Chain A
């Protein structure tokens, strides 16, 4: 059975995955990989929520994780739609190149 001493390690893994995803968002240039890093961050938050839910014997963390999964799915649909649009107008897939909103 899972002992209580594992709980800090679960939180540690969640923090690690979240900051790794943030690093991926910052250093990668391919917007597809940036989206995958965002997915990694959302999954890290889910891990923390489910860990707390199990640790505190409450189902509410799992409900929140479910909501996060729904939001992640919606975000991927819109983001990949945007990327195909950007690609179809003949632009290169590079986050450094897509800076119209800064102009």
Chain B
């Protein structure tokens, strides 16, 4: 599982390069499909089965298809690839390297958690309650050799509760108000998209070129 995760992370990193550095927008979109699909598998390995499905449906199924539709519709021209000696690109690559180094160092050394659950702390008990463990004895049933070998939930706890059930439990109890607000967000986004792409009676309005642009209200026809 470790090797699988390493391969997935490396492939994700490479396909992410394709999104940013492809000359044609359609290749960026296809690299985005690959990145999103690989991240979905990463979610699966991380025991987030619900998000695996949501990621595939929403991103690969809706967002990227929308991107490809718009690319086919607008047919944007290919861009020049930035030269490798461009100082701005070098600065960006240096910034990426610095951020990655800082995060890796912080994640390896700087953060300490009670992951071994050596004490019966509240967070450890909470984790096992969410995972479906009945009481503390379930918690101590783990094999002694590699006590945290499952990276999160012990397998039996996951299988007992189920990822969708536990996520739904959080989503519809603790976070029910934010969940309802997302429905409002989607409604506003849909109305905004309809408003932006609507046609006026006289057909498509033509705005003057950027230099002599006059700011009109959105409802007026030229």
Contacts and interface: CB of A to CB of B under 8 A. Distances in A.
Given A66-B167, A81-B193, A4 B19 contact: no
A12 B104 contact: yes
B151 A4 contact: yes
Query: Chain B interface secondary structure, helix, strand, loop or mixed?
Result: helix
Interface string B161-190: 001001101110011001100100110111
Interface of B: 1-2, 5-6, 9, 12-13, 16-17, 19-20, 22, 25, 28-29, 32, 35-36, 39, 42-43, 45-48, 50-51, 54-55, 58-59, 62-63, 66-67, 70-71, 73-74, 76, 79, 82, 88-89, 92-93, 95-96, 99-100, 102-104, 107-108, 113, 115, 123, 126-128, 130-131, 146, 148-153, 163, 166-167, 169-171, 174-175, 178-179, 182, 185-186, 188-190, 192-193, 196-197, 204-207, 210, 213, 215
Interface of A: 1-21, 23-24, 26-30, 32-33, 35-37, 39-40, 43, 46-47, 50-51, 53-60, 62-63, 65-67, 69-78, 80-85, 87-91, 93, 97-100, 103
